[in-house]
Structure 1
Amino acid sequence: KALLSDFCRECDFVFNLAGVNRPKDDGEFMKGNFGFASELLKTLEKHGNRCPVMLSSSIQATLVGRYANSVYGESKLRGEELFFDYAAKTGAKVFVYRFPNLFGKWCRPNYNSAVATFCNNIANDLPIRVDNEKTELELLYIDDLVSEMLDLLEGKEHRCDFSGTDTVLKSDGRYCAIPVTYRVTLGE
Protein backbone atom coordinates (compact mmCIF):
# COMPACT_ATOMS: atom_id res chain seq x y z
CA LYS A 1 0.00 0.00 0.00
CA ALA A 2 2.87 2.38 0.71
CA LEU A 3 4.27 1.85 -2.77
CA LEU A 4 0.83 2.41 -4.34
CA SER A 5 0.49 5.59 -2.30
CA ASP A 6 3.88 6.86 -3.47
CA PHE A 7 3.09 6.16 -7.10
CA CYS A 8 -0.38 7.72 -6.85
CA ARG A 9 1.08 10.87 -5.34
CA GLU A 10 3.66 11.34 -8.12
CA CYS A 11 2.20 9.87 -11.32
CA ASP A 12 1.15 11.82 -14.41
CA PHE A 13 -0.88 9.01 -16.01
CA VAL A 14 -2.15 5.63 -14.79
CA PHE A 15 -2.57 2.52 -16.91
CA ASN A 16 -4.61 0.11 -14.79
CA LEU A 17 -3.89 -3.20 -16.48
CA ALA A 18 -4.22 -5.16 -13.24
CA GLY A 19 -6.91 -7.74 -12.84
CA VAL A 20 -7.91 -11.24 -11.90
CA ASN A 21 -9.03 -13.63 -14.61
CA ARG A 22 -8.22 -17.12 -13.29
CA PRO A 23 -9.12 -17.17 -9.58
CA LYS A 24 -9.47 -20.17 -7.33
CA ASP A 25 -12.99 -19.03 -6.46
CA ASP A 26 -15.36 -16.52 -8.07
CA GLY A 27 -15.21 -14.13 -5.09
CA GLU A 28 -11.66 -13.24 -6.09
CA PHE A 29 -12.97 -11.61 -9.28
CA MET A 30 -14.65 -8.80 -7.35
CA LYS A 31 -11.75 -8.40 -4.93
CA GLY A 32 -9.11 -8.30 -7.66
CA ASN A 33 -10.96 -6.34 -10.34
CA PHE A 34 -13.35 -4.02 -8.51
CA GLY A 35 -11.44 -3.96 -5.21
CA PHE A 36 -8.09 -2.91 -6.63
CA ALA A 37 -9.70 -0.32 -8.93
CA SER A 38 -11.46 1.15 -5.90
CA GLU A 39 -8.25 1.28 -3.87
CA LEU A 40 -6.35 2.87 -6.76
CA LEU A 41 -8.92 5.63 -7.29
CA LYS A 42 -9.26 6.34 -3.56
CA THR A 43 -5.49 6.67 -3.29
CA LEU A 44 -5.30 9.07 -6.24
CA GLU A 45 -8.13 11.10 -4.71
CA LYS A 46 -6.43 11.14 -1.29
CA HIS A 47 -3.39 12.76 -2.90
CA GLY A 48 -5.49 15.18 -4.97
CA ASN A 49 -3.98 13.68 -8.12
CA ARG A 50 -6.45 14.07 -10.98
CA CYS A 51 -4.15 12.63 -13.63
CA PRO A 52 -5.75 10.68 -16.51
CA VAL A 53 -6.52 7.05 -15.69
CA MET A 54 -6.97 4.14 -18.10
CA LEU A 55 -8.84 0.96 -17.19
CA SER A 56 -8.43 -2.32 -19.03
CA SER A 57 -11.82 -3.96 -18.94
CA SER A 58 -13.25 -6.80 -20.98
CA ILE A 59 -15.87 -7.32 -23.64
CA GLN A 60 -17.39 -9.68 -21.07
CA ALA A 61 -18.52 -6.56 -19.14
CA THR A 62 -21.31 -6.19 -21.72
CA LEU A 63 -23.01 -9.15 -20.00
CA VAL A 64 -24.58 -9.96 -23.38
CA GLY A 65 -24.94 -13.33 -25.11
CA ARG A 66 -22.47 -15.93 -23.92
CA TYR A 67 -21.23 -13.40 -21.35
CA ALA A 68 -24.67 -12.93 -19.74
CA ASN A 69 -23.86 -14.82 -16.55
CA SER A 70 -20.16 -13.99 -16.36
CA VAL A 71 -19.03 -13.30 -12.79
CA TYR A 72 -15.79 -12.01 -14.31
CA GLY A 73 -17.76 -9.70 -16.63
CA GLU A 74 -19.82 -8.41 -13.71
CA SER A 75 -16.66 -7.57 -11.74
CA LYS A 76 -15.25 -5.72 -14.76
CA LEU A 77 -18.53 -3.82 -15.26
CA ARG A 78 -18.52 -2.72 -11.62
CA GLY A 79 -14.94 -1.49 -12.10
CA GLU A 80 -16.01 0.49 -15.17
CA GLU A 81 -18.84 2.14 -13.24
CA LEU A 82 -16.39 3.04 -10.50
CA PHE A 83 -14.13 4.77 -13.03
CA PHE A 84 -16.99 6.71 -14.63
CA ASP A 85 -18.22 7.80 -11.17
CA TYR A 86 -14.67 8.87 -10.29
CA ALA A 87 -14.50 11.03 -13.43
CA ALA A 88 -17.82 12.69 -12.58
CA LYS A 89 -16.73 13.31 -8.98
CA THR A 90 -13.18 14.56 -9.57
CA GLY A 91 -13.13 15.85 -13.13
CA ALA A 92 -10.25 13.50 -13.96
CA LYS A 93 -10.14 12.02 -17.45
CA VAL A 94 -10.85 8.30 -17.54
CA PHE A 95 -10.38 5.97 -20.47
CA VAL A 96 -12.18 2.63 -20.26
CA TYR A 97 -11.24 -0.02 -22.82
CA ARG A 98 -13.20 -3.25 -23.21
CA PHE A 99 -10.65 -5.61 -24.68
CA PRO A 100 -11.77 -8.59 -26.74
CA ASN A 101 -9.62 -11.73 -26.98
CA LEU A 102 -5.93 -10.78 -26.99
CA PHE A 103 -3.34 -12.62 -29.03
CA GLY A 104 0.29 -12.17 -29.98
CA LYS A 105 3.81 -12.78 -28.88
CA TRP A 106 4.40 -13.82 -25.30
CA CYS A 107 0.78 -14.87 -24.65
CA ARG A 108 0.63 -17.89 -22.37
CA PRO A 109 -1.02 -21.04 -23.73
CA ASN A 110 -3.71 -22.64 -21.57
CA TYR A 111 -4.27 -19.39 -19.70
CA ASN A 112 -6.36 -16.67 -21.34
CA SER A 113 -5.49 -16.73 -25.04
CA ALA A 114 -7.27 -19.26 -27.23
CA VAL A 115 -4.91 -18.38 -30.09
CA ALA A 116 -1.81 -19.08 -27.97
CA THR A 117 -3.33 -22.36 -26.79
CA PHE A 118 -4.22 -23.48 -30.33
CA CYS A 119 -0.75 -22.50 -31.66
CA ASN A 120 1.00 -24.28 -28.80
CA ASN A 121 -1.06 -27.43 -29.17
CA ILE A 122 -0.71 -27.61 -32.95
CA ALA A 123 3.06 -26.96 -32.78
CA ASN A 124 3.43 -29.72 -30.18
CA ASP A 125 1.08 -32.26 -31.81
CA LEU A 126 -1.39 -31.89 -28.95
CA PRO A 127 -5.14 -32.07 -29.49
CA ILE A 128 -7.22 -28.90 -29.77
CA ARG A 129 -10.80 -28.77 -28.56
CA VAL A 130 -13.54 -26.67 -30.11
CA ASP A 131 -16.91 -26.93 -28.39
CA ASN A 132 -18.85 -24.90 -30.97
CA GLU A 133 -17.40 -24.27 -34.43
CA LYS A 134 -19.85 -21.39 -34.95
CA THR A 135 -18.53 -19.38 -31.99
CA GLU A 136 -17.17 -16.08 -33.25
CA LEU A 137 -14.15 -14.51 -31.59
CA GLU A 138 -13.10 -10.90 -31.89
CA LEU A 139 -9.31 -10.86 -31.69
CA LEU A 140 -7.02 -8.00 -30.75
CA TYR A 141 -3.32 -8.19 -31.60
CA ILE A 142 -1.12 -7.08 -28.71
CA ASP A 143 0.96 -4.70 -30.87
CA ASP A 144 -2.24 -2.90 -31.94
CA LEU A 145 -3.14 -2.50 -28.27
CA VAL A 146 0.31 -1.06 -27.49
CA SER A 147 -0.02 1.41 -30.40
CA GLU A 148 -3.36 2.60 -29.01
CA MET A 149 -1.87 3.05 -25.53
CA LEU A 150 0.87 5.24 -27.03
CA ASP A 151 -1.79 7.21 -28.95
CA LEU A 152 -3.69 7.59 -25.67
CA LEU A 153 -0.68 9.22 -24.03
CA GLU A 154 -0.69 11.77 -26.85
CA GLY A 155 -4.43 12.46 -26.52
CA LYS A 156 -5.28 10.58 -29.73
CA GLU A 157 -7.47 7.85 -28.28
CA HIS A 158 -10.28 6.28 -30.30
CA ARG A 159 -13.72 6.65 -28.70
CA CYS A 160 -16.65 4.28 -29.03
CA ASP A 161 -19.92 3.03 -27.66
CA PHE A 162 -21.22 -0.53 -27.68
CA SER A 163 -24.16 -2.16 -29.41
CA GLY A 164 -24.27 -5.47 -27.60
CA THR A 165 -20.72 -6.74 -27.92
CA ASP A 166 -20.05 -4.76 -31.10
CA THR A 167 -17.77 -1.74 -30.89
CA VAL A 168 -19.20 1.34 -32.60
CA LEU A 169 -16.48 3.94 -33.16
CA LYS A 170 -17.86 7.34 -32.22
CA SER A 171 -15.88 10.52 -31.54
CA ASP A 172 -17.91 11.33 -28.41
CA GLY A 173 -18.27 7.74 -27.17
CA ARG A 174 -18.16 6.90 -23.49
CA TYR A 175 -15.63 4.12 -23.98
CA CYS A 176 -12.33 3.82 -25.84
CA ALA A 177 -11.38 1.16 -28.38
CA ILE A 178 -8.56 -0.16 -30.46
CA PRO A 179 -9.81 0.41 -34.03
CA VAL A 180 -8.21 -2.73 -35.52
CA THR A 181 -9.57 -6.13 -34.50
CA TYR A 182 -10.12 -9.40 -36.34
CA ARG A 183 -13.23 -11.58 -36.33
CA VAL A 184 -13.01 -15.33 -36.85
CA THR A 185 -15.20 -18.31 -36.15
CA LEU A 186 -13.67 -21.30 -34.43
CA GLY A 187 -14.60 -23.52 -37.37
CA GLU A 188 -12.43 -21.57 -39.81
Structure 2
Amino acid sequence: MTESLVLTGAGGFLGWHVRVLARALGFPEPTIVDRATLASPALLADALNGADRVIHIAGINRGEPHKVTAGNVQLAQQLMAGLRACPTPPKTVVFANSIQAGNGTAYGDGKATAAVQLAETTRWLGSTFADVLLPNLFGEHGQPHYNSVIATFCRLLADGGTPQISGDRELDLLHATDAAALLLGTTDAQPTVRRTVQQLADQLERFAATYRTAEIPDLADRFDVRLFNTYRSHLAPAPYGLTRHSDARGSLVETVKVHGGGGQTFCSSTVPGITRGQHFHLAKVERFVVVRGEAEIRLRRVLHDEVLTFRVSGEEPVVVDMPTMWAHDITNVGDSELTTLFWSNDLFDPANPDTYPEPVR
Protein backbone atom coordinates (compact mmCIF):
# COMPACT_ATOMS: atom_id res chain seq x y z
CA MET A 1 0.00 0.00 0.00
CA THR A 2 1.30 3.47 -0.86
CA GLU A 3 -1.71 5.54 0.19
CA SER A 4 -0.72 8.30 2.62
CA LEU A 5 -2.86 8.49 5.76
CA VAL A 6 -3.61 11.23 8.24
CA LEU A 7 -5.36 10.20 11.44
CA THR A 8 -7.09 12.13 14.23
CA GLY A 9 -7.99 10.33 17.45
CA ALA A 10 -5.06 7.95 16.98
CA GLY A 11 -4.55 7.51 20.71
CA GLY A 12 -8.00 6.10 21.37
CA PHE A 13 -9.44 2.60 21.12
CA LEU A 14 -10.54 2.77 17.47
CA GLY A 15 -7.50 4.81 16.49
CA TRP A 16 -5.18 2.09 17.77
CA HIS A 17 -7.04 -0.58 15.81
CA VAL A 18 -6.83 1.53 12.64
CA ARG A 19 -3.07 1.94 13.11
CA VAL A 20 -2.55 -1.79 13.76
CA LEU A 21 -4.56 -2.81 10.68
CA ALA A 22 -2.79 -0.22 8.54
CA ARG A 23 0.54 -1.65 9.75
CA ALA A 24 -0.58 -5.20 8.97
CA LEU A 25 -1.70 -4.25 5.46
CA GLY A 26 1.51 -2.38 4.64
CA PHE A 27 0.25 1.20 4.62
CA PRO A 28 2.89 3.86 5.20
CA GLU A 29 3.10 5.03 8.81
CA PRO A 30 0.16 7.43 9.24
CA THR A 31 0.59 11.07 10.16
CA ILE A 32 -0.86 11.48 13.64
CA VAL A 33 -2.82 14.64 14.40
CA ASP A 34 -3.10 15.39 18.11
CA ARG A 35 -5.47 17.87 19.78
CA ALA A 36 -2.87 20.66 19.74
CA THR A 37 -2.38 20.29 15.98
CA LEU A 38 -6.14 20.17 15.44
CA ALA A 39 -6.44 23.51 17.18
CA SER A 40 -3.87 25.15 14.87
CA PRO A 41 -5.13 25.62 11.26
CA ALA A 42 -1.59 26.27 9.97
CA LEU A 43 -0.05 23.16 11.57
CA LEU A 44 -3.05 21.09 10.59
CA ALA A 45 -2.91 22.25 6.99
CA ASP A 46 0.72 21.10 6.80
CA ALA A 47 -0.31 17.65 8.03
CA LEU A 48 -3.32 17.37 5.71
CA ASN A 49 -1.88 18.88 2.55
CA GLY A 50 -1.97 16.48 -0.39
CA ALA A 51 -2.87 13.44 1.72
CA ASP A 52 -4.61 10.53 0.05
CA ARG A 53 -6.89 9.75 2.99
CA VAL A 54 -7.76 11.64 6.17
CA ILE A 55 -9.59 9.64 8.84
CA HIS A 56 -11.32 11.73 11.49
CA ILE A 57 -11.91 9.67 14.62
CA ALA A 58 -11.34 12.24 17.36
CA GLY A 59 -14.54 12.79 19.31
CA ILE A 60 -16.16 13.10 22.71
CA ASN A 61 -18.26 10.19 23.95
CA ARG A 62 -18.93 11.04 27.57
CA GLY A 63 -19.57 14.14 29.66
CA GLU A 64 -22.17 16.83 30.17
CA PRO A 65 -24.66 16.72 27.27
CA HIS A 66 -23.99 20.22 25.94
CA LYS A 67 -20.24 19.62 26.07
CA VAL A 68 -20.56 16.33 24.19
CA THR A 69 -22.59 17.94 21.41
CA ALA A 70 -20.46 21.06 21.16
CA GLY A 71 -17.20 19.13 21.49
CA ASN A 72 -17.86 16.84 18.52
CA VAL A 73 -18.93 19.77 16.37
CA GLN A 74 -15.90 21.80 17.42
CA LEU A 75 -13.46 19.00 16.55
CA ALA A 76 -15.02 18.72 13.09
CA GLN A 77 -14.85 22.50 12.63
CA GLN A 78 -11.17 22.48 13.57
CA LEU A 79 -10.57 19.83 10.91
CA MET A 80 -12.51 21.93 8.39
CA ALA A 81 -10.36 24.98 9.13
CA GLY A 82 -7.25 22.94 8.38
CA LEU A 83 -8.77 21.53 5.20
CA ARG A 84 -9.64 25.01 3.91
CA ALA A 85 -6.04 26.13 4.53
CA CYS A 86 -4.55 23.32 2.42
CA PRO A 87 -2.97 24.31 -0.90
CA THR A 88 -3.79 20.76 -2.08
CA PRO A 89 -6.83 19.35 -0.26
CA PRO A 90 -6.79 15.64 0.61
CA LYS A 91 -8.29 13.26 -1.91
CA THR A 92 -10.61 11.59 0.61
CA VAL A 93 -11.89 12.58 4.04
CA VAL A 94 -13.41 9.79 6.13
CA PHE A 95 -15.58 10.51 9.15
CA ALA A 96 -15.95 7.86 11.86
CA ASN A 97 -19.62 8.58 12.48
CA SER A 98 -22.13 6.59 14.51
CA ILE A 99 -25.47 4.89 13.89
CA GLN A 100 -26.61 7.11 16.77
CA ALA A 101 -26.22 10.20 14.58
CA GLY A 102 -29.42 12.25 14.69
CA ASN A 103 -31.14 10.10 17.32
CA GLY A 104 -31.86 13.06 19.58
CA THR A 105 -29.09 12.38 22.12
CA ALA A 106 -26.30 14.85 22.77
CA TYR A 107 -23.78 12.50 21.20
CA GLY A 108 -25.99 11.68 18.22
CA ASP A 109 -26.81 15.32 17.52
CA GLY A 110 -23.16 16.32 17.72
CA LYS A 111 -22.14 13.58 15.31
CA ALA A 112 -24.95 14.42 12.87
CA THR A 113 -24.08 18.12 12.80
CA ALA A 114 -20.39 17.34 12.34
CA ALA A 115 -21.18 15.06 9.40
CA VAL A 116 -23.30 17.70 7.63
CA GLN A 117 -20.62 20.36 8.02
CA LEU A 118 -17.79 18.07 6.93
CA ALA A 119 -19.78 16.98 3.87
CA GLU A 120 -20.34 20.59 2.83
CA THR A 121 -16.71 21.60 3.32
CA THR A 122 -15.28 18.63 1.41
CA ARG A 123 -17.79 19.16 -1.42
CA TRP A 124 -16.67 22.77 -1.72
CA LEU A 125 -12.99 21.70 -1.73
CA GLY A 126 -13.50 18.87 -4.22
CA SER A 127 -12.49 16.09 -1.84
CA THR A 128 -14.40 12.82 -1.61
CA PHE A 129 -16.29 12.50 1.67
CA ALA A 130 -17.05 9.13 3.28
CA ASP A 131 -19.51 9.21 6.16
CA VAL A 132 -19.07 5.83 7.87
CA LEU A 133 -21.88 5.01 10.30
CA LEU A 134 -20.45 2.64 12.89
CA PRO A 135 -22.50 0.56 15.36
CA ASN A 136 -21.36 -0.44 18.86
CA LEU A 137 -17.69 -1.36 18.64
CA PHE A 138 -15.82 -3.97 20.64
CA GLY A 139 -12.35 -5.46 20.49
CA GLU A 140 -9.01 -5.94 22.14
CA HIS A 141 -7.90 -3.41 24.76
CA GLY A 142 -11.14 -1.47 25.00
CA GLN A 143 -11.51 0.77 28.04
CA PRO A 144 -13.98 -0.55 30.65
CA HIS A 145 -16.89 1.73 31.58
CA TYR A 146 -16.17 3.82 28.51
CA ASN A 147 -15.73 2.10 25.13
CA SER A 148 -18.30 -0.67 25.44
CA VAL A 149 -20.28 -2.87 27.77
CA ILE A 150 -18.18 -5.78 26.46
CA ALA A 151 -14.98 -4.14 27.72
CA THR A 152 -16.65 -3.62 31.10
CA PHE A 153 -17.80 -7.25 31.33
CA CYS A 154 -14.36 -8.53 30.26
CA ARG A 155 -12.61 -6.46 32.91
CA LEU A 156 -15.02 -7.63 35.63
CA LEU A 157 -14.53 -11.28 34.68
CA ALA A 158 -10.76 -10.91 34.40
CA ASP A 159 -10.75 -9.53 37.95
CA GLY A 160 -12.87 -12.43 39.22
CA GLY A 161 -16.16 -10.51 39.31
CA THR A 162 -19.56 -11.11 37.75
CA PRO A 163 -21.31 -8.84 35.21
CA GLN A 164 -24.40 -7.08 36.53
CA ILE A 165 -27.16 -6.15 34.06
CA SER A 166 -29.65 -3.37 34.58
CA GLY A 167 -32.11 -3.42 31.70
CA ASP A 168 -31.42 -5.87 28.89
CA ARG A 169 -31.41 -4.65 25.28
CA GLU A 170 -30.20 -5.66 21.83
CA LEU A 171 -26.95 -4.26 20.46
CA ASP A 172 -25.60 -4.16 16.92
CA LEU A 173 -21.91 -5.04 17.28
CA LEU A 174 -18.87 -4.63 15.06
CA HIS A 175 -15.30 -5.62 15.87
CA ALA A 176 -12.91 -2.67 15.85
CA THR A 177 -10.69 -4.28 13.18
CA ASP A 178 -13.70 -4.49 10.87
CA ALA A 179 -14.47 -0.85 11.63
CA ALA A 180 -10.86 -0.01 10.83
CA ALA A 181 -11.15 -1.78 7.47
CA LEU A 182 -14.18 0.35 6.62
CA LEU A 183 -12.35 3.54 7.52
CA LEU A 184 -9.24 2.52 5.57
CA GLY A 185 -11.39 1.70 2.54
CA THR A 186 -10.17 -1.89 2.27
CA THR A 187 -13.72 -3.24 2.46
CA ASP A 188 -17.27 -1.99 2.18
CA ALA A 189 -18.71 -4.95 4.08
CA GLN A 190 -19.93 -4.43 7.63
CA PRO A 191 -20.21 -7.83 9.38
CA THR A 192 -22.45 -6.58 12.16
CA VAL A 193 -23.77 -9.07 14.72
CA ARG A 194 -26.79 -8.53 16.96
CA ARG A 195 -26.74 -9.77 20.57
CA THR A 196 -28.54 -8.86 23.76
CA VAL A 197 -26.54 -7.62 26.73
CA GLN A 198 -27.57 -10.75 28.62
CA GLN A 199 -26.34 -13.01 25.82
CA LEU A 200 -22.99 -11.25 25.87
CA ALA A 201 -22.67 -11.60 29.63
CA ASP A 202 -23.57 -15.29 29.50
CA GLN A 203 -21.13 -16.07 26.69
CA LEU A 204 -18.27 -14.17 28.30
CA GLU A 205 -18.91 -15.94 31.61
CA ARG A 206 -18.65 -19.30 29.80
CA PHE A 207 -15.42 -18.20 28.13
CA ALA A 208 -13.94 -17.12 31.47
CA ALA A 209 -14.93 -20.31 33.29
CA THR A 210 -13.42 -22.54 30.59
CA TYR A 211 -10.26 -20.53 30.05
CA ARG A 212 -9.40 -20.44 33.76
CA THR A 213 -8.51 -24.13 33.38
CA ALA A 214 -6.27 -23.40 30.34
CA GLU A 215 -8.88 -25.02 28.10
CA ILE A 216 -10.14 -23.33 24.94
CA PRO A 217 -13.89 -22.62 24.84
CA ASP A 218 -16.17 -23.43 21.93
CA LEU A 219 -15.42 -20.90 19.18
CA ALA A 220 -18.15 -21.70 16.71
CA ASP A 221 -17.84 -18.70 14.40
CA ARG A 222 -16.00 -15.51 13.57
CA PHE A 223 -17.81 -13.48 16.22
CA ASP A 224 -16.97 -16.00 18.94
CA VAL A 225 -13.27 -15.85 18.08
CA ARG A 226 -13.21 -12.06 18.22
CA LEU A 227 -15.21 -11.94 21.44
CA PHE A 228 -12.85 -14.48 23.04
CA ASN A 229 -9.81 -12.49 21.92
CA THR A 230 -11.41 -9.38 23.40
CA TYR A 231 -11.76 -11.16 26.74
CA ARG A 232 -8.17 -12.43 26.56
CA SER A 233 -6.88 -8.88 26.05
CA HIS A 234 -8.00 -8.06 29.60
CA LEU A 235 -5.79 -10.83 31.03
CA ALA A 236 -2.11 -10.17 31.57
CA PRO A 237 -0.11 -12.54 29.32
CA ALA A 238 1.50 -15.19 31.50
CA PRO A 239 2.49 -18.88 31.45
CA TYR A 240 -0.09 -21.34 32.74
CA GLY A 241 1.29 -24.46 34.42
CA LEU A 242 0.34 -27.90 33.15
CA THR A 243 -0.04 -31.13 35.11
CA ARG A 244 2.41 -33.91 34.28
CA HIS A 245 1.05 -37.46 34.64
CA SER A 246 3.88 -39.94 35.19
CA ASP A 247 4.23 -43.69 35.68
CA ALA A 248 6.75 -46.41 34.94
CA ARG A 249 6.34 -45.94 31.19
CA GLY A 250 7.14 -42.21 31.24
CA SER A 251 4.99 -39.09 31.43
CA LEU A 252 2.08 -37.37 29.72
CA VAL A 253 1.04 -33.71 29.61
CA GLU A 254 -2.29 -32.53 28.20
CA THR A 255 -1.37 -29.40 26.25
CA VAL A 256 -4.54 -28.40 24.39
CA LYS A 257 -8.15 -29.20 25.24
CA VAL A 258 -10.67 -27.55 22.94
CA HIS A 259 -14.43 -27.44 23.50
CA GLY A 260 -16.44 -27.85 20.33
CA GLY A 261 -13.63 -27.55 17.78
CA GLY A 262 -10.26 -28.72 16.58
CA GLY A 263 -7.94 -26.26 14.88
CA GLN A 264 -4.40 -27.21 13.91
CA THR A 265 -1.51 -28.61 15.94
CA PHE A 266 2.10 -28.83 14.79
CA CYS A 267 5.58 -29.22 16.26
CA SER A 268 8.86 -27.57 15.42
CA SER A 269 12.49 -28.19 16.25
CA THR A 270 14.82 -25.23 16.70
CA VAL A 271 18.59 -25.33 17.03
CA PRO A 272 20.33 -23.32 19.79
CA GLY A 273 20.42 -19.55 19.35
CA ILE A 274 17.69 -19.43 16.68
CA THR A 275 14.52 -17.32 17.00
CA ARG A 276 11.15 -18.15 15.45
CA GLY A 277 8.12 -15.89 15.11
CA GLN A 278 8.68 -12.11 14.95
CA HIS A 279 5.10 -11.48 13.82
CA PHE A 280 1.59 -10.78 15.09
CA HIS A 281 -1.93 -11.97 14.32
CA LEU A 282 -5.17 -10.02 14.02
CA ALA A 283 -7.54 -12.83 14.96
CA LYS A 284 -5.72 -16.17 15.29
CA VAL A 285 -5.72 -17.83 18.71
CA GLU A 286 -2.27 -19.39 19.10
CA ARG A 287 -0.71 -21.48 21.89
CA PHE A 288 2.96 -22.33 22.55
CA VAL A 289 4.10 -25.27 24.69
CA VAL A 290 7.80 -26.17 24.95
CA VAL A 291 8.07 -29.92 25.44
CA ARG A 292 11.86 -30.30 25.25
CA GLY A 293 14.69 -27.86 25.76
CA GLU A 294 14.95 -24.30 27.08
CA ALA A 295 13.33 -21.26 25.48
CA GLU A 296 12.61 -17.60 25.94
CA ILE A 297 9.22 -16.34 24.74
CA ARG A 298 8.84 -12.59 24.21
CA LEU A 299 5.70 -10.55 23.57
CA ARG A 300 5.04 -6.86 22.82
CA ARG A 301 1.74 -5.15 22.10
CA VAL A 302 1.88 -3.59 18.62
CA LEU A 303 2.68 0.15 18.72
CA HIS A 304 3.82 -0.14 22.35
CA ASP A 305 7.33 -0.47 23.76
CA GLU A 306 7.14 -2.78 26.79
CA VAL A 307 8.41 -6.32 26.14
CA LEU A 308 7.29 -9.25 28.30
CA THR A 309 9.75 -12.13 28.57
CA PHE A 310 9.04 -15.66 29.83
CA ARG A 311 11.71 -18.33 30.36
CA VAL A 312 10.18 -21.78 29.80
CA SER A 313 11.45 -25.35 29.87
CA GLY A 314 10.37 -28.76 28.65
CA GLU A 315 11.14 -30.06 32.14
CA GLU A 316 8.15 -28.12 33.49
CA PRO A 317 5.79 -27.54 30.52
CA VAL A 318 3.57 -24.48 30.61
CA VAL A 319 1.04 -22.95 28.24
CA VAL A 320 1.76 -19.50 26.82
CA ASP A 321 -1.06 -18.14 24.65
CA MET A 322 -0.28 -15.33 22.21
CA PRO A 323 -2.58 -12.31 22.54
CA THR A 324 -3.91 -10.99 19.24
CA MET A 325 -2.17 -7.84 17.99
CA TRP A 326 0.93 -8.58 20.05
CA ALA A 327 4.25 -9.30 18.31
CA HIS A 328 5.82 -12.49 19.63
CA ASP A 329 8.79 -14.77 19.16
CA ILE A 330 10.48 -17.81 20.72
CA THR A 331 14.25 -18.34 21.01
CA ASN A 332 16.17 -21.49 21.83
CA VAL A 333 18.35 -20.36 24.75
CA GLY A 334 19.51 -23.85 25.70
CA ASP A 335 22.41 -26.02 24.60
CA SER A 336 20.34 -28.67 22.82
CA GLU A 337 17.57 -28.81 20.25
CA LEU A 338 14.28 -27.15 21.24
CA THR A 339 10.98 -28.90 20.54
CA THR A 340 7.85 -26.75 20.66
CA LEU A 341 4.20 -27.68 20.17
CA PHE A 342 2.03 -25.01 18.54
CA TRP A 343 -1.76 -24.94 18.31
CA SER A 344 -4.02 -22.47 16.51
CA ASN A 345 -7.80 -22.32 16.34
CA ASP A 346 -7.99 -22.49 12.55
CA LEU A 347 -6.27 -24.34 9.73
CA PHE A 348 -3.37 -22.51 8.11
CA ASP A 349 -4.42 -20.87 4.84
CA PRO A 350 -1.43 -19.73 2.73
CA ALA A 351 -3.70 -17.28 0.90
CA ASN A 352 -4.85 -15.69 4.17
CA PRO A 353 -2.32 -16.58 6.86
CA ASP A 354 -3.24 -13.81 9.35
CA THR A 355 0.48 -13.43 10.06
CA TYR A 356 2.16 -10.02 9.83
CA PRO A 357 5.93 -9.45 10.26
CA GLU A 358 6.82 -7.39 13.33
CA PRO A 359 10.00 -7.59 15.39
CA VAL A 360 9.47 -7.86 19.12
CA ARG A 361 12.50 -5.63 19.66
Give your verdict on TM over 0.5.
yes
Counterpart selection for 2:93 from 45, 53, 61: 53
* Counterparts of 2:164 and 2:43, CA distance in 1: 43
Counterpart selection for 1:147 from 170, 174, 181: 181
What are the Cα deviations for residues 22-41 of structure 1, in whole angstroms up to 9, with x where unaligned?
Answer: 23x22322332111111212
Aligned length: 158
* Counterparts of 1:28 and 1:157, CA distance in 2: 34
* Structure 1 equivalent of residue 54 of structure 2: 14
What are the Cα deviations for residues 67-118 of structure 1, in whole angstroms up to 9, with x where unaligned?
Answer: xx31011000001111222233232101111111111111111112111111
* Structure 1 equivalent of residue 298 of structure 2: none
AA aligned to 1:132 is G
C-alpha displacement of 1:123: 2.3
* Counterparts of 2:171 and 2:105, CA distance in 1: 16
* Structure 1 equivalent of residue 135 of structure 2: 100
Residues 37, 59 of structure 1: alpha-carbon distance in 2 compared, 3 angstrom cutoff: same
C-alpha displacement of 1:14: 0.5
* Counterparts of 2:119 and 2:51, CA distance in 1: 20
Matches within 5 A, 1:33-182: 33-48=72-87, 49-63=89-103, 69-133=104-168, 135-150=169-184, 152=185, 157-158=187-188, 178-182=189-193
* Counterparts of 1:91 and 1:107, CA distance in 2: 36
* Counterparts of 1:46 and 1:157, CA distance in 2: 30
Unaligned 5+ segments in structure 2 are 1-39, 200-361
Report the structure number with the largest CA radius of gyration. Answer: 2
* Structure 2 equivalent of residue 175 of structure 1: none
Give the TM-score, by structure 2 length.
0.41
Unaligned 5+ segments in structure 1 are 64-68, 159-177
* Counterparts of 1:50 and 1:119, CA distance in 2: 39
What are the Cα deviations for residues 137-170 of structure 1, in whole angstroms up to 9, with x where unaligned?
Answer: 01110121223334x1xxx552xxxxxxxxxxxx
* Counterparts of 1:21 and 1:13, CA distance in 2: 24
Partner of 1:57: helix, strand, or coil?
strand
AA aligned to 2:181 is S
AA aligned to 1:43 is G
In percent, how many aligned pairs have the same letter?
30
- C-alpha RMSD of the superposition: 1.9
Partner of 1:61: helix, strand, or coil?
coil
CA contact (8 A) 2:80 2:121 kept: yes
Q: Which runs of 4+ in 1 moved over 3 A?
A: none
For CA contacts below 8 A with separation 6 or more, give which structure has more relative contact order: 1
* Counterparts of 2:132 and 2:160, CA distance in 1: 36
> More strand by proportion, 1 or 2?
2
Give the TM-score, by structure 1 length.
0.75
Counterpart selection for 1:29 from 59, 63, 68: 68
* Counterparts of 1:181 and 1:70, CA distance in 2: 22
Residues 10, 92 of structure 1: alpha-carbon distance in 2 compared, 3 angstrom cutoff: closer
